[in-house]
Amino acid sequence: MGSYKMCMCFTRKFKINEVQPPLDIREAFAKFTDGGTLMTADQLLDFLIHFQGETSAKYSDAVEIIQQIMSRRHHIAFTRHALTPEDFQSYLFSDDLNSAIRNQVYHDMTAPLSHYFIYTGHNSYLTGNQLSSECSEVPIEKALKRGVRVIELDIWPNSSKDDVHVLHGRTLTSPVALVKCLKSIKEHAFSTSPYPVVITLEDHLSPYLQAKVAEAKCLEEFPSPEALKYRIILSTKPPKEYLERLEGKTYKDKDLFEEDSWGKELPDTKLELPVDYKSDSELSDQIQDEEDIIDSGRKSCQLGAPQYKRLIAIHAKKSKGGLKESLKVDDVSVRRLSLSEQKLEKARAHHGTALVRFTQRNLLRVYPKGTRFNSSNYNPLIGWMHGAQMVAFNMQGYGRALWLMQGMFRSNGDCGYVKKPDILMQSNRLFDPKIKLPVKKTLKVRVYMGDGWRLDFNPTHFDAYSPPDFYTRVGIAGVPADVKMQKTKIMEDDWTPVWDKEFSFPLTVPELALLRIEVHEYDMSEKDDFGGQTCLPVWELKEGIRAVPLFNRKGEKFRSVKLLLQFKFV
């Protein structure tokens, strides 16, 4: 009997399941409709107030929701004044009508700047890595449109030393004209937020090209974001010539270009504020002319010794006694300190509470270490839990660290300023992140289901032969005692997975906790595929059943992909 080979081919269909609403949703609908088949505006209002905890909801809000769902699902005018169970689920899945967090500014914006975390960029002009990518005004525009409030520019002379370029010095990065960067800032500074934009200048210029810098008295206290609305603020260190003249030294042009070589620790910077910040003086409202910075340097040079404009109101220089001396608080003036991520690690190990005390009145900026050539980032919570206001990030360096940064600044209506929690502002009992505190509250998260991948992804994106096998990871980023990560089971072959799994997160410092959510597609033979992510500030979460949109690796929102979750605090 002759042998033969058999070839077997398997074909699997890409089925789309008709998913019933989860049991909790069906029960909620039945409860608030008294077992009926339609939910009226009165009944929906009852649901909003007593289930979702929206105690300020009005009848008109319920009417508007029904009107929107009728238009979206049925493309009809407002003819039916009630929701079916399917309409009700569609409403719950609408992140604009049923968002998980607040979408407006609600923090007190009248406190000094030192009382806020500020959305801060690092090398904001780079399109990619730190060594060879192009410099451009486009990343600046993108950052500002995402709510970033601190833009960093490294300014250098061009090859003929008669104009100013922006580039990452002593690398192969290609330059961009300073004027282009300033135009981008001028045009987009307040496209998403009215609160002040800080331009951090790393100044490597000769006196002829010197930017606007200052010799001013120190402020006793920082002004507030509210007082600085629609203002652009310069931040830079004093030029070397200015410092040398103060010390009676002879200025040497070549010394200016030899200092601050890339990768070394930079000296502390100074935040430039108008002395009378309520006036309409130069640069306090906006950049009137993109050439202002360059022209000011030219004019001051023509006067002989540079006559620096009175814009710097915060003096910041390192103490000779090292970090311990630098962190001492002056009761009559405020200043700013810059630390690399490595120095922050050392500081928190030996001077943790001193950092917290310092940041109650003064500004602390943290920046990535010089070896992050690929524009990666570090854990921002280390800075935040010690009160650092300006945790500077490479906005082009995608990854989990950047997702945390984006999550933090979804707070307070995406305005780029988040009021620091009271726990960081107590002067009589300084917060120490290393000490484990009692559990203050427990967050319960029920992951019901997800949808939208079939609309946003190609049918074979996750698997060539079958629907995807999704699972969700849910966890907390925060102080060490609160960090935790859990995951659902894998739902095989389903574009609309229903997990219906509850997780519990005891939180000792909920004021500094971020909820991390990631969806992955299980792959037995290779690395699991990425299906979306988001990060939400725990203190912003609204209780009840909520729609949670997911984002791609870059932090860009998917058009359709969402999760349906329930949040409870106990």
Q: Please check whether residue 377 is in contact with residue 393, taking contact to mean a CB–CB distance below 8 angstroms.
A: yes
Q: CA of 208: how far to CAs of 244, 288, 295, 297, 361, in Å?
A: 16, 21, 9, 6, 35
Place of tokens 């504020």: 273
Burial 222-257 (b: 16+ CB within 10 A, else e): bbbbeebeebbbbbbbbbbbbebeeeeeebeeeebb
First and final C-alpha spacing in the chain: 74
Q: Please check whether residue 537 is in contact with residue 102, taking contact to mean a CB–CB distance below 8 angstroms.
A: no
Residues 510 and 187: their CA atoms lie apart, in Å, by 37
Q: Per the residue annotation, which of 168, 315, 386, 520 is the catalytic one?
A: 168
The tally of CA atoms less than 13 A away on the side-chain side of residue 341 is: 19
- Residue 471, sorted as left (phi over 0), alpha (psi -120 to 50) or beta, turns out to be beta
Q: Please check whether residue 340 is in contact with residue 366, taking contact to mean a CB–CB distance below 8 angstroms.
A: yes
Cβ of 341: how many Cβ atoms within 10 Å?
19
Q: Is 168 a catalytic residue?
A: yes
Q: Is 165 a catalytic residue?
A: no
Residues 318 and 331: their CA atoms lie apart, in Å, by 17
Q: Please check whether residue 417 is in contact with residue 150, taking contact to mean a CB–CB distance below 8 angstroms.
A: no
Q: Please check whether residue 435 is in contact with residue 348, taking contact to mean a CB–CB distance below 8 angstroms.
A: no
Tell me if residue 531 falls in helix, strand or coil. Answer: strand
Tell me if residue 142 falls in helix, strand or coil. Answer: helix
Q: Please check whether residue 222 is in contact with residue 272, taking contact to mean a CB–CB distance below 8 angstroms.
A: no
Q: Please check whether residue 130 is in contact with residue 122, taking contact to mean a CB–CB distance below 8 angstroms.
A: no
Nearest to 115 by CA among 288, 356, 311: 356
| 557-569/441-451 β-pairing | antiparallel
Q: CA of 535: how far to CAs of 263, 366, 417, 519, in Å?
A: 31, 21, 17, 12
Q: Please check whether residue 44 is in contact with residue 65, taking contact to mean a CB–CB distance below 8 angstroms.
A: yes
- Would you give the DSSP letter of residue 472? E
Q: Per the residue annotation, which of 122, 204, 386, 520 is the catalytic one?
A: 122
Sign of CA dihedral 305, 310, 312, 318: positive
| 363-367/390-393 β-pairing | parallel
Cβ of 551: how many Cβ atoms within 10 Å?
18
Q: Please check whether residue 471 is in contact with residue 488, taking contact to mean a CB–CB distance below 8 angstroms.
A: yes
Amino acid residing at 65: I
Residues with a catalytic annotation lie at 122, 168
